[in-house]
A and B are shown apart, each in its own frame.
Chain A
Amino acid sequence: MLLQLIVSGLLLGGIYALLSLGLSLIFGVSKFTNFAHGDFVMVGMYMAFVSYGMFTLTPYFSWPLVMLGGVGFALLLYLVARSTIEKSGLNQILVTLGLSMVLQNTVLLFFKSDYKSIPATFGSSIKLGTVFISTEMLIAFVIAVVITGGFFFFIKYTDTGRALRAVSDDRAASKLMGLPVNLLDPIAFCLGIVLACLAGALLMTVYPTTPTIGSGYNLIAWVTVVLGGLGYLQGALFSALLIGICETVSGFYLGADLRQAVYYVLFILVLVFRPQGLFAGLGMKKVKR
C-alpha cells in the first residue's frame, strides 16, 4: 500500500513541480512576491475547461491555447505589478492579493461556484506489479516531466536562460553589464505564469475545479518553494515531489481532511526552524542571490 501511495504522490508532485518552478523563477529573477500564483493555476484549469466546452479539445490538445492565454495573463500581471518590482515586498503582496480577489471573483461571475470537470479520456488504470496507476495521472506526469526538462534546458543552455540566471544572481550587476532587465522581467513572468497555467490544464484532467481552488494551490506553491529553499529551482522540484508524496500518504493514514494540515504544519516548522530550506547545503546551485 505504501508503495502505491508513494507512486501516486510522485505523480501528483510532478504536476506541483510546474507551479513551484514558476513561482521560484519569478521570485528569483524579479524578486517579486506573487500571492496570486495559485489563481493562475485556477485560470489555467478554466481555460482547459472552456476549450473542452467550446471545441471539445482535451487538455492534451488544448495546451497551445492555454499557453497563449497564460502569456496574456502574465502580461496582465506584469502590467499591474510592474511599478512594485524592486520596491517594498509588502506592496507586491497586496497588489497580487487584490489581483487574486479580482481573478477569483471574475471567474465566479462567469462560471458560478459549482465544481467543473472534464470527462476522463482514458478512464482505465494500468497495473504494474501491485501498484495501480491512473492513466490520466501518468500521462499528466509524463507531460509535466517533459515540460520541466524543457524548462531546465532553456534555463541552462539558452542565452535568455543564462541572462535570467544572471539577473536572479545579482540584479544590479546584471543591469550594469547591460542586460535588458526590463525585458527579462516580463519574460520571467510569462514563463512562470505559463508553467502555472499548464499545471492547471494538466490538473484539469484529473481533478474538478472551482473558482476558489487557487488559494490552496497558492499555498502549495509557496510551501514547495520555501521547503526547497528560496530560489533553488532544483530544490523546488524535489520538494514538490515530497509534498505530493506527503499529501497522498497523510491523506491515506490520517484521512483526506487532515492531509493539508500535515504539510501546512510542516511548512510552518520549516519556516521557523530551517528557513534556508530542507536541502540547503547539499551542493545545490542557488538561482537567487
Chain B
Amino acid sequence: MRSFLSHKKSDYFICAAVMLLLSLGLLSSNKYTLDILITTVYFCTIASAWNIMCGYTGQLSLGHGAFLGLAQYTSTLLYTKMDISPWLGMLAGGLTAMLLALLVGVLALRLKGPFFALATIALTTILEIFAVKFDGITGGSVGITIPYNPSLGNMIFKDYQPTYFLFLCLLALVLLTTIYISRSRLGSNLVAIRENDLTAASLGINVFRNQLYALMISSFFTGVVGTLYAQYVLFIDPAGSFSVIVSEKAALISIIGGAGTVFGPLIGGILLAPTEIFLRTWLGSTYQGAYLIVYGVVLIFVILTIPNGIAGTVSAYIRKCNCKTEQASGDD
C-alpha cells in the first residue's frame, strides 16, 4: 500500500514538472509558437478528459464531440445573445455537457464495446444535424462568429499568453483530477470494471453508477475546455463543434499515448498535435488530409504492436525493472 501511495506522489511530481516545462512557453511572445502550444495543450486536455471515462473504464466513446459542441454552443449563445460573461458560460457549458452525459449514461452505458461507440457517434451526428437545422438559434451551418472585444471579462485577450495560461491551468486541473481519481476508490472501481465487469459487479461494485460518475466528470472537463477553445478561435460551427474527427482524435491521442494511465494522453498530445500542425503547414492545402493518414497509420501500428500505448508499455517495463531490483535487494 505504501508503495502504491508513494507511486502516486511521484505522479504529482511529474505533473508539476511537466506543467513547469510547458509554462516556459509563457515567456515567448511569438504568436505562431504560442498557437502551436495552445493547440497542443488543448488536445492534451481533451484527451486527458476522454481518458478519465474511457481509458479507465474501457468504454470506447467516439462521441465526445457531442459534449464539446454542446458546451461551446451553450457558452457562445449565452455570450453573444444574452451578454453573459464566458467565465460563467464556461461553467454553464460544462454543466450542460454534464447533463447530456447523465442522459447518455442512463440510456447508453449498459451498451458495451462497439455499440456504445456507435451510439455515441450517432448522438454526435444527431446533435450536428440539430445544430444545422435549428438555425434560428444556432446560426445554422454558417456558425457563429464571436465579436472580438478584448477584455478580461469577455475572456478574449490581445496576446496569446493569458489564453495559454488558462489552458495550462485547465490541463493541470484535469491531470490533478485524474491522479486523484486514479488513487481513489472510484478509480480502482473503474479499473476493476475495465478488467472484468462481471467480476466487479459480483464484488459489489455498482458498475453503472461508477461509469456514470466517470462519464460526467469527463464530459464536464471536455465541455469546459471546449468553451475555452471557442473563446480562443472566436468561431464555432456545427461541423467543427460536433465533429466526429475531434472525438476520434481525443480517443486516439489518448490510446496512442496510453489509455488508462495518468500521463498517456499528455504524451500522445505532445507527440501528435505538433506533428499534425507541422504536417498541415508543410503539406499545405494541396494535401489537406495527409495528416490524418499519419494518424491512421500510427494508430494501426500502435494497436498492433503496443496495444497499451506508449505510457502503458513504458510503465509496465519500469514495474518489471522495479520488481527485479526489489527481488535483488530482498536476497541480500
Q: Are A35 and B296 in contact (CB under 8 A)?
A: no
Could you tell me the distance in whole angstroms from the C-beta of A253 to the nearest C-beta in chain B? 14
| Given A101-B299, A102-B297, A260-B125, also A268-B119 (CB < 8 A) | yes
| Given A98-B300, A257-B129, also A109-B122 (CB < 8 A) | no
Q: Are A90 and B60 in contact (CB under 8 A)?
A: yes
Write out the residue numbers on chain A whose beta carbons fall within 8 Å of the beta carbon of B122: 219, 223, 264, 267-268
| Number of B interface residues in the complex (CB < 8 A) | 42
Complex alpha-carbon distance, A93 and B116, angstroms: 12
Q: Are B293 and A105 in contact (CB under 8 A)?
A: yes
Q: Does A91 contact B (CB under 8 A)?
A: yes
Could you tell me the distance in whole angstroms from the C-beta of B110 to the nearest C-beta in chain A? 8
Q: Are A105 and B115 in contact (CB under 8 A)?
A: no
Which of B110, B123, B133, B290 sits near A268, CB closer than 8 Å?
A: B123
| Given A102-B297, A226-B118, A264-B126, also A211-B289 (CB < 8 A) | yes
Residues of chain A from 214 to 266 with CB closer than 8 A to chain B in the complex: 215, 219, 222-223, 226, 255, 257-258, 260-261, 264-265
Write out the residue numbers on chain A whose beta carbons fall within 8 Å of the beta carbon of B251: 94
Q: Are A109 and B118 in contact (CB under 8 A)?
A: no
For the A-B complex, the count of residue pairs with Cβ-Cβ distances under 8 Å equals: 123
Q: Are A93 and B293 in contact (CB under 8 A)?
A: no
Q: Does A100 contact B (CB under 8 A)?
A: yes
Q: Are B117 and A93 in contact (CB under 8 A)?
A: yes
| Given A80-B300, A94-B299, A101-B296, also A271-B115 (CB < 8 A) | yes
Q: Are A222 and B300 in contact (CB under 8 A)?
A: no
Could you tell me the distance in whole angstroms from the C-beta of B40 to the nearest C-beta in chain A? 20
Which of B118, B132, B133, B297 sits near A222, CB closer than 8 Å?
A: B118
Q: Does A119 contact B (CB under 8 A)?
A: no
Q: Does A275 contact B (CB under 8 A)?
A: yes
Residues of chain B from 80 to 113 with CB closer than 8 A to chain A in the complex: 107-108, 110-111, 113
| Number of A interface residues in the complex (CB < 8 A) | 42
**Main SS class of interface, A:** helix
Q: Does B1 contact A (CB under 8 A)?
A: no
**Main SS class of interface, B:** helix
Residues of chain B from 234 to 248 with CB closer than 8 A to chain A in the complex: 244, 248
Q: Does B114 contact A (CB under 8 A)?
A: yes
Q: Are A99 and B117 in contact (CB under 8 A)?
A: no
Residue among B122, B126, B290, B304 with the most chain A CB within 10 A?
B122
A266-285: CB near B (< 8 Å → 1, else 0) gives: 01100110010000000000
Q: Does A180 contact B (CB under 8 A)?
A: no
B208-231: CB near A (< 8 Å → 1, else 0) gives: 000000000000000000000000
A28-70: CB near B (< 8 Å → 1, else 0) gives: 0000010100000000000000000000000000000000000
Q: Are B113 and A109 in contact (CB under 8 A)?
A: no
Could you tell me the distance in whole angstroms from the C-beta of A23 to the nearest C-beta in chain B? 11
| Given A90-B113, A219-B121, A271-B108, also A102-B133 (CB < 8 A) | no
CB-defined A-B contacts under 8 Å, sample of 29 = A35-B114, A35-B117, A80-B304, A83-B304, A84-B304, A93-B60, A93-B113, A94-B252, A95-B299, A98-B295, A98-B299, A101-B295, A108-B288, A108-B289, A109-B290, A113-B288, A219-B125, A222-B118, A223-B122, A255-B133, A258-B133, A260-B129, A261-B129, A261-B130, A268-B107, A268-B119, A272-B107, A272-B111, A275-B115
4 tightest A-B contacts by CB?
A: A105-B289, A101-B296, A98-B299, A102-B296
Further 20 A-B residue pairs, CB within 8 A, beyond A261-B126, A271-B108, A272-B119: A35-B114, A89-B113, A91-B307, A93-B114, A94-B255, A97-B248, A97-B299, A98-B300, A102-B292, A102-B296, A105-B289, A105-B290, A106-B293, A108-B288, A108-B289, A226-B115, A226-B118, A257-B133, A265-B126, A271-B115
